[in-house]
Amino acid sequence: MNLKHFLVALAIAALMPIEAVRAQVPSPPELGATSYVLLDFHSGETIAEKEPDLQVEPASITKLMTSYVVFRELAKGQLSLDDKVLISEKAWRTGGSRMFVEVDTEVSVEDLLMGVIVQSGNDASVALAEHVAGSEEVFAQMMNAEAERLGMDNTTYQNATGLPSPDHYTTAHDIAILARALIEEFPEYYRWYSQQEFTYNDITQPNRNLLLYRDSSVDGLKTGHTEAAGYCLATSALRDGMRLISVVMGTESESARATASQALLNYGFRFFETFKLYAAGDVISTTPVWKGEIEEMRLGIEGDVFVTVPRGSQGSLSAEVLVPSTPIAPFEQGQEFGTLEVSFDGEPRLQRPLVVLDEVPRAGWWGRTTDGIGLWFDGLFGGD
């Protein structure tokens, strides 16, 4: 191999215990659902699925995006939880599930969010949409813009409620993408999804997510139901540091959607586990560098790296660091350089770009000259 001319291929045998034996994983449970997805929150990997990209009516699971858009506006400082929202006649007249706001009254953004999240209020959803965007139609454009940004490629919104409308559809996979983003970006608001009841205007209504009452590990997310959509449920649960997200669409009853979701969650937690392989900023590799003020630069990753595998199969994980040849300074901090590849049972599982952890300025005239001579000799006499 040439001097300072290399391709690093480092097998990390110590990543997990080598004596571990891969477990045999049974098939996912049979569910009476039109479609479903089960994925790990940290790794983003899908554990089980059925027709994940089938376009279906989302019903009130639409309100996950309604809340997400409002959360984004709160984060931007365009909105405050204490802001008062004037309830329009349109919001007041909106049918279906309701928070029971009254026309021409003022309700805080926080109370309306609770009405959306806990009570699934269509009136609260319209009121928030009108307050944020001026009209529900313009708010739907904001919803679609966020869906596009998140990569929800098979989703189109027409309203903030999920009431049936032409060209208002999504998929189980897209809902899981949204749920993951909501949990990750807004933990301070996500806690509201575990609230079992909310009282407004002297009317107390329970959260329709039955798993909040059956399983202490479940802390969200949202139910949905229309005649066309059937009974739907997006759920998340956290057990021993592992968080799963399940989305079940098109079941026959409120009980059936809860039972199906519970079965998926139990399956995922029982037969799979998720590991944090690297943390953001960890030094994964060092590499010699030409014409720099320092002779080696440190390489790492910008975000944490997680992987989900069958329980007992940690020893089947391996990793490689692939670095281009002849790195020549300067390099900026955060500049991409090389790739981390993680494999499972010898099959590629994920790739992440490596980044330069510390700035590498160009060397002075003498350092550049001597390294230039070294590069010339390396090219003249070197060989693999």
Rounded to whole angstroms, how far apart are CA atoms 314 and 357? Answer: 28
CB 154 within 8 A of CB 167: no
Catalytic residue among 4, 63, 222, 291: 63
Q: Does the annotation mark 313 as catalytic?
A: no
CA angle 72, 280, 241 (to 5 degrees): 75
Distances (CA, A) of 44 to 32, 93, 276, 290, 381: 25, 40, 12, 38, 47
Catalytic residue among 35, 43, 60, 97: 60
Rounded to whole angstroms, how far apart are CA atoms 215 and 333? Answer: 45
Rounded to whole angstroms, how far apart are CA atoms 113 and 117? Answer: 6
CB 181 within 8 A of CB 150: yes
Residue (of 103, 104, 102, 128) closest to 114 by Cα position: 128
Q: Does the annotation mark 60 as catalytic?
A: yes
Q: Does the annotation mark 125 as catalytic?
A: no
Catalytic residue among 35, 43, 88, 120: 120
Return the structure tokens found at 63.
């309100």
CB 7 within 8 A of CB 322: yes
Which amino acid type is present at position 157? Y
Show which residues are catalytic: 60, 63, 120
